Structure 1
Amino acid sequence: MKLKKFTVGEIMSKSYIVSNNGKAIVIDPGAEGKKLYKYLQENNLELKYIINTHGHFDHIAANEFLKNKTDAKIMAHPKADLKFKDPKLNLSQVLKRQKITSPSVDIALNDGDIIDFEGLKLRIIYTPGHSEDGISIYLESEKILFPGDCIFASGVGRTDFSDSDFEKLTNSIEEKIFSLPDNTTFYPGHGADNIISSFKNRVWPALK
């Protein structure tokens, strides 16, 4: 398995490409689809899935480009589909005065679902709070988590949007993310990666 990290777009969102056996998954292609596609081509990777941790514009902006280029299946929580279609709900019209949309969800992901990808098993964890459609993706064999905007290396996702809820975010963090092994490395939707134990012991006590 190989993991490639990208920083994309004006908001400097994180996109990740997980590859194995010549196949790939891209997590949160938030912008700069050409950059992501170039990497796929240069490494002879077939893109199978596009997974969105939630439906905000800075995580979905390159969905359409990559799907058109590769015919990859878009995967996200069922509640993300409304954001994909509505620039107000995905915040592109509100924060950027642009109308960014995405093709519909091809495969809906719910809590506990397992994506079996080239011998890798990715478990879906429903983690609302920053966004009602928020999911995290856990790769147990590698002790890797992709939490989207639920948690960051030194903070948590905003909870001042219409479908945000700090109480739900707290539950997602304490009941779900903290149930994972402390030595799990997480790769968030923005900023640097970190380890759950560091977040749990140094970051979270100052925030809750």
Structure 2
Amino acid sequence: MKWRRLPLGPIQTNCYLFSNDEKECLVIDPGGDANKLISILQQQHLKPVAILLTHAHFDHIGAVDEIRNEWKIPVYVHKNEKDWLTNPSLNASQNFMGGAVTVSEADELIKSEGTLTIGSFSLQVYETPGHSPGSVSYYSAEAGLVFSGDALFAGSIGRTDLLDGNHDQLIKSIQDKLLTLPEDTLVLSGHGPETSIEAEMERNPFLNGF
């Protein structure tokens, strides 16, 4: 398995391409710059099979429809944010952009934790709310990495002052779901550089004592 980070969109949100040896890939959080993303996928001869969203804030969804329509693939989002894709007051674009960012409804709703299998890809889904009510993290034991969205960053954690954010819930999500992963697990966050579970356990100032 291979991964590539692509900062995209108005605030350079990390989109990830997670691919296998057959050049199939999952597109995780395509936040914007659709033409650039399509061009990269074509240049790399990658074949997207699904779009996975860690959550549905505007900066993670901006290129969803273009990628979905180009490759005719399904979009996955947690059920708690089912309506956020189509509603700019929920996905925060109304407040931050001065205008609406909307995409079509998701094709598949994540209803619970467990194994998500898409073709040859198998990911463990963890519900990690706090930054938003439907935030999820996708863990690949095979690749030794977790896509944490805006729950956990290198040296920081997600903001909780947006709609239905909850600081205590976020800390609990990180403590119960992410910090229990193997310490050498690579953490691929929604913003900024990669880190590891071990590094965040040792040095993250928001997680001291865990």
Common fold by TM > 0.5:
yes
Q: Which residues of 2 match residues 44-123 of structure 1 at below 5 A?
A: 44-123=45-124
Taking a change above 3 Å as real, the CA distance of residues 172 and 160 of structure 1, as seen in their structure-2 partners, is: same
* CA deviation map 1:161-206 (0-9, x unaligned): 1210011101101111111111100000000110111101110345
* TM-score, scaled to structure 1: 0.95
Structure 1 unaligned segments of length 5 or more: list them.
Answer: none
Structure 2 counterpart SS, 1:147? strand
Whether 1:195 and 2:199 are equivalent positions in the alignment is: no
2:153 aligns to what?
152
Deviation at 1:112, TM superposition (A): 2.4
Q: Match of 2:153, as an amino acid? A: F
Give the length in aligned residue pairs.
Answer: 208
Q: What is the aligned-residue RMSD (CA, Å)? A: 1.5
1:5 aligns to what?
5
Identity, % of aligned positions: 31
1:14 aligns to what?
14
* TM-score, scaled to structure 2: 0.94
Q: In the alignment, is the contact (CA less than 8 A) between 1:152 and 1:189 conserved in 2?
A: yes
Taking the aligned partners of 1:30 and 1:40, their CA distance within structure 2 comes to 15
Deviation at 1:207, TM superposition (A): 9.7
Deviation at 1:119, TM superposition (A): 3.3
Deviation at 1:60, TM superposition (A): 0.4
Deviation at 1:99, TM superposition (A): 0.6
Deviation >3 Å, runs of 4+: 117-120, 204-208
Taking the aligned partners of 1:3 and 1:34, their CA distance within structure 2 comes to 20
* CA deviation map 1:30-54 (0-9, x unaligned): 0111111112211222211001100
User: When you count helix as a share of all residues, which structure comes out higher?
Assistant: 1
Taking the aligned partners of 1:110 and 1:136, their CA distance within structure 2 comes to 13
Q: Match of 1:134, as an amino acid? A: S
Q: Which shifted more, 110-119 or 193-202?
A: 110-119
